[in-house]
Amino acid sequence: MGDDLSDVASDLYRPPEPKSIDEILKNTEGCDESLEKVKGFLLTAADPNNMYDPSDPRSVILVNISLLIDGEPKISVDLNSSVRMDDIVFRIKEGAQYQLQLNFFVQREIVTGLKYIHKVYKHGIPVDKDSFMIGSYAPKKDLQRYATPAEDAPSGMINRGKYKVKSRITDDYGHDWLTWSWHLEISKDW
């Protein structure tokens, strides 16, 4: 990928062959009681009535991104609106502790090794790259949330300004669930 939003760790890890819920169900026929419970859960998860949006073919649907300041939502962007992703600007005060919270649904299939990767640029020069493991999820109708670890915004005149952030949500198998760009503006005051 030209934006270098790949994850170095995934080059070293080889996930097992992906299996659909149907394949897992076929392989658990005649199993013990605990596997029968798992089978029941998977049948419920695969039910179209138990999906966030049955008309959407994706397994991971990101619906909202929020900027948390000191653990509290400060700015929230609804991704179902007509907002252009590249127009998103999160403005924070220098030195403030912040996190990015992703709100998403998992439907249709089990998603393993879901991760959030971002690369930060200032004046077109890369200044930071991070990869955050979100986890593995079975499909369900409930909203899932993930917040990146808390970070302190840089301080000082030289660190103020606008940063471009290129972000990607992917998994163990390299699915590109969403890739977008947004801006982070560090300012002296709110």
Tokens of 164: 């471009």
Q: What is the mean pLDDT of residues 172-187?
A: 91
Is the confidence at residue 2, as pLDDT, over 50? no
pLDDT of 61:
93
Q: Using CA of residue 59, residue 64, residue 69, residue 71, what is the dihedral sign?
A: negative
CA-nearest of 134, 146, 147 to 175 is: 134
Q: How many CA atoms lie within 13 A of 181 on its CB side?
A: 9
Could you tell me the pTM of the whole model? Answer: 0.77
CB 149 within 8 A of CB 125: no
What domains are defined for the chain?
Answer: 8-187 (2.70.50.30)
3-class secondary structure for 70-129?
Answer: CCEEEEEEECCCCCCHHHCEEEEECCCEEEEEEEEEECCCCEEEEEEEEEEEECCEEEEE
The pLDDT tens digits of the residues spanning 132-169 come to 999 998 888 899 999 999 999 989 999 999 999 999 99
Q: If pLDDT is split at 50, 70 and 90, which confidence band does 114 have? A: very high
Q: What is the largest CA-CA distance in the chain?
A: 67
List pLDDT tens digits, range 58-113: 999 999 999 999 888 888 888 877 778 778 889 999 999 999 999 999 998 888 89
List strands edge to edge, sheet with 178-187: 89-93, 178-187, 161-170, 111-122, 125-137
pLDDT at 126: 95
pLDDT for the residue 152: 93
Q: What are phi and psi of 38, to 5 degrees?
A: -60, -45
Q: Which of 124, 106, 113 is CA-nearest to residue 170?
A: 113
Q: Classify residue 123 by burial, with Cβ atoms within 10 Å: 0-12, 13-18, 19+.
A: exposed
Summarised one tens digit per residue, pLDDT across range 12-47 is 667 777 767 677 666 656 667 776 676 666 666 666
Q: How far apart are CA 1 and CA 175, in angstroms?
A: 12
